[in-house]
Amino acid sequence: MSMSSQKTTSQAIPTTRRVIINDAAHMPHDYSTTPGGTLFSTTPGGTRIIYDRKFLLDCRSSPLARTPPCCLPDIPGVTSPPSVTIKNDKAHPKKTVNNNSISPLADKSAGEDAQFEMDI
Amino acid sequence: MNNKFDALKDDDSGDHDQDNCSPKDGEKEKNDEEEKDSNTTKTKVVVPGAGEHPLQYNYSFWYSRRTPGRPASTQSYEQNIKQIGSFASVEQFWRFYSHMIRPSDMTGHSDFHLFKEGIKPMWEDDANKSGGKWIIRLRKGLASRCWENLILAMLGEQFMVGEEICGAVVSVRFQEDIISIWNKTASDQATTARIRDTLRRVLNLPPNTIMEYKMHTDSIKAWEDFHGLVNASGGR
């Protein structure tokens, strides 16, 4: 009688994900994580692909992460067009996109902001 | 009806302060999800490339800046916000991030938004309309580091709140910078508490840092109250 209530059904094995390591930097740094993002089946909402900060930062040096994105809109002073050479080092990754040509506008809007803040 | 959709801006948090002349109504808003608006850069679905590390969700970067020299009330928030691009993997994220200016180097009254693909950084989006956001005000000089830590935690699924996270915003203002993270259900206190605790951890905030939770419905109401006097159609 109690046997029937104890019965559990079998579950399919979760889909296998194969992760190829191209760089030692992509190896996890502690035993609780797995290469290519750690899958937790016990998080709220089910299985999630989880990366810690260090792993994400390490991925930044990958050649795959260095190529400029396609279709990047050219917003002066905000984005750097793909044609511009970028030094993707961690110290100063975005020097070349800092466009000083809009600084006169900045001064103007800064004045507006002061007034705006008072409006709140 | 107009008032509701005009109320796209938030004065202090990171969203926006402009706009009260948008003619949108509810139906139009929904259609936009499929047709995308004119300032959306592309509509194709992005996928992780070979050898890249997939993210739990696809995300889009957005940028907005208040146009100098024009009164905020005459601008449409939706017209002012520009989608920079979408990504599906860690590597694709870095490609965008590395070709964008750092928040501390932004000028004027500017915001970066990073939202899950399909969710607009607007209070009225279906995913946001019942939600709210945690707001942290930062003294000048901290925004770039805090923004990077915030979005890395979001992309890496560090918040552990299921589907609740909608996106994050960094707002550069005159005397301070503001970062915020938006979630879907403002009334879910277990979720908002977990987001708050995760923020404290990943941002390494001093214990006395003030964190404020703001429901979007309150933001909309505050916006309407503030702009009601100057909004000709404001017959609330």
Q: What is the pLDDT of residues A19-53, one digit of tens each?
A: 777 777 777 766 666 666 666 555 555 578 999 99
- Does residue B47 sit at the A interface (CB-CB below 8 Å)? no
Is A108 a residue whose pLDDT tops 90? no
Q: How far off is chain A from B145, nearest CA to CA, in Å?
A: 12
- Does residue A60 sit at the B interface (CB-CB below 8 Å)? yes
**Which member of A53, A93, A98 has the closest CB to residue B98?**
A93
B102 and B151 Cβ atoms separated by less than 8 Å: no
Would you state the pLDDT for residue B79? 79
pLDDT tier for residue A15 given thresholds of 50, 70 and 90: low
Is A100 a residue whose pLDDT tops 50? no
pLDDT tier for residue A97 given thresholds of 50, 70 and 90: very low
B158 and B165 Cβ atoms separated by less than 8 Å: no
With beta carbons under 8 A apart, name residues in chain A contacting B47. none
Q: How far off is chain A from B84, nearest CA to CA, in Å?
A: 6
Would you state the pLDDT for residue A73? 85
Q: What is the reported pTM?
A: 0.68
Candidates B113, B122, B118; CA nearest to B36 is B118
With beta carbons under 8 A apart, name residues in chain A contacting B69. 108
Burial readout B46-66 (b: 16 or more C-beta within 10 A, e: otherwise)? bebeeebbbbbbbbbbbbbbb
Would you state the pLDDT for residue A77? 80
Q: How is residue B216 written in tokens? A: 């979007």
With beta carbons under 8 A apart, name residues in chain B contacting A109. 66, 68, 107-109
With beta carbons under 8 A apart, name residues in chain A contacting B175. 114, 117
Candidates B29, B65, B2; CA nearest to B228 is B2
Is A115 a residue whose pLDDT tops 50? no
Would you state the pLDDT for residue B74? 44
| CB–CB contact A113 B101 (8 Å) | no
Cα–Cα distance, B25 to B172 (Å, whole number) = 30
Q: How is residue B134 written in tokens? A: 């945690």
Would you state the pLDDT for residue A31? 63
| CB–CB contact A116 B161 (8 Å) | no
Would you state the pLDDT for residue A23? 78
Q: How is residue B111 written in tokens? A: 């915001």
- ipTM attached to this prediction: 0.77
Q: Is B213 helix (H, G, I), strand (E, B) or coil?
A: strand
Q: How far is CA B109 from CA A51, B11, B143, B198, in A?
A: 32, 11, 14, 28
Return the higher-pLDDT residue of A96 and A64.
Answer: A64
Q: How far off is chain B from A6, nearest CA to CA, in Å?
A: 30
Q: Which residues of chain B have pLDDT under 70?
A: 1-43, 68-75, 229-236
Determine the straight-line distance between the first and last CA of chain B, rounded to whole angstroms. Answer: 9
| CB–CB contact A73 B85 (8 Å) | yes
Orientation angle between helical segments B143-155 and B189-203, nearest 10 degrees = 130
- Does residue A50 sit at the B interface (CB-CB below 8 Å)? yes
Return the higher-pLDDT residue of B176 and A117.
Answer: B176
